[in-house]
Amino acid sequence: MKLIDNWKQAWKLKSVQVGALSAFFYALILFSEQFLSVWEVVPQELKNKIPENVAEWVGMFVGVAMVLARLKKQPELHTGVNQFVAITAGHSNTDPGAVNGNAKEADLVTNFRNAVAFYLRESGLQVKTDGTGTKNDPLSAAVKLIKGSSVAVEFHMNAAASKQANGIETIALPKDKKLAQDLSKAVADAFGSRLRGDNGWIDQSKSARGRLAFVSNGGLIVELGFISNPIELKKFNDKYWIAAKALAKVLIDYEKALK
Ligand SMILES: [Zn+2]
């Protein structure tokens, strides 16, 4: 109660009113859309306290705000459900995934994600990622990006007890078999690696990892070789930009075919 009484006292001070009004107009310009919803919940009692000449100005600004808000909404009118490609890196900044010496799976696939996103954006596609730079958001954030995307791809690296284990594979639902095979082939050709599974496709139900949330939600997981295999790790480090470019080309062609 005391707080409210003090606030009422403060409101009567001219300086506070002027301060509040300028903050009000500043906010209006910055957040025209948000302002409208705020203005709607301002109690009529408070609105009545605004001097009439000021109220007229406010009325005018509300009109301007409505126009601004509508203009801001405009691009969304052209945004269908299938307007972006989601490209995400496996694991996260706190979960390194598989590790071989200094090499961490999460870091390598984050670099790969950035390279693929670069080529996709260069071709004019809209791209959403689970972070930029070294940022690698967790799986929950990556899964959220699948909804509304025309295609969603996440990158991982395999690991096995045997240093000889090798090859490229893409885990996907049967509906994405062809795309999965094309993605795997692009990467395998760039690295000079072999394809695993059915010509590079691993059916989610046949994956050793069981049901993967990213794939169950409609995404594809590309395993970019074995981090546990020193030869494949070196190939990755030497040529990942080339592989990323080849993989991006597959996605660009896939998007073109959708139109
Ligand atoms: Zn992984």
Report the separation in Å between the CA atom of 220 and the middle of ligand 1, taken as the mean of its atom positions.
13
Residue 47 and residue 117 in one domain? no
Distance 202 CA to ligand 1 centre (A): 15
Cβ contacts of residue 143 below 8 Å, gap of 6+?
213, 214, 217, 219
Task: Compute the distance between CA of residue 184 and CA of residue 193 in angstroms, rounded to an integer.
Answer: 10
The list of the chain residues with pLDDT below 50 reads 74-81
Distance 63 CA to ligand 1 centre (A): 52
Q: Could you tell me the CATH number of the domain that includes residue 105?
A: 3.40.630.40
Contact 98, 159 (CB under 8 A): yes
Residues 73 and 114 in one domain: no
Residues 174 and 221 in one domain: yes
Domain boundary pick from 77, 92, 123: 77
Query: Of 157, 88, 74, which Cα lies nearest the Cα of 120?
Result: 88
CA of 156 to the centre of ligand 1 (A): 4
Last residue of a domain, one of 77, 108, 126: 77
Q: Residue 117 C-alpha to ligand 1 middle, in angstroms?
A: 19
The Cα–Cα gap between 135 and 97 comes to: 15
Clarify whether residues 126 and 68 are in a common domain: no
Are 46 and 170 found together in one domain? Answer: no
Domain boundary among 30, 56, 77: 77
Which residues, listed in sequence order, are joined to residue 149 by a DSSP beta bridge? 84
Give me ligand 1 centre to Cα 108, in Å.
11
Q: Using H for helix, E for strand and C for coil, what is the string for the chain?
A: CHHHHHHHHHHHCHHHHHHHHHHHHHHHHHCHHHHHHHHHHCCHHHHHCCCHHHHHHHHHHHHHHHHHHHHHHHHHHCCCCCCEEEEEECCCCCCCCCEECCEEHHHHHHHHHHHHHHHHHHCCCCEEECCCCCCCCCHHHHHHHHCCEEEEEEEEEECCCCCCCCCEEEEECHHHHHHHHHHHHHHHHHHCCCECCECCEEEHHHCCCCCCHHHHCCCEEEEEEECCCHHHHHHHHHHHHHHHHHHHHHHHHHHHHHC
Domain residue limits at 10: 2-77
Q: How far is the CA of 123 from the centre of ligand 1 (A)?
A: 28
Query: Ligand 1 centroid vs 80 CA: distance in angstroms?
Result: 31
CA 114–ligand 1 middle distance (angstroms): 17
Distance from residue 157's CA to the centre of ligand 1 (Å): 5
Q: How many domains does the chain have?
A: 2
Same domain, 123 and 248: yes
Residue 103 Cα to ligand 1 midpoint, Å, equals 13
Same domain, 163 and 179: yes
At 75 the pLDDT is 45
Same domain, yes or no: 158 and 139: yes
106 C-alpha to ligand 1 centroid (Å): 7
Ligand 1 center–CA 90 separation, angstroms: 6
Question: Does 148 lie in the same domain as 119?
Answer: yes
What's the confidence (pLDDT) of residue 58? 75
One-letter amino acid of 96: P
**Same-domain check for residues 30 and 97:** no
Ligand 1: distance of its center to the CA of 153 in Å? 13
What count of residues does the chain have? 259
Same domain? For 37 and 161 the reply is no
Nearest to 90 by CA among 18, 29, 159: 159
Dist CA 47 CA 56 (whole Å)? 11
Q: What angle do CA 40, 42, 48 make, to 5 degrees?
A: 115
154 CA to middle of ligand 1, Å? 10
pLDDT (0 to 100) of residue 147: 92
Q: Tell me phi and psi for residue 239, to 5 degrees.
A: -125, 15
Give me ligand 1 centre to Cα 146, in Å: 18
**Residues 68 and 95 occupy one common structural domain:** no
Residue 19 CA to ligand 1 center (angstroms) comes to 54
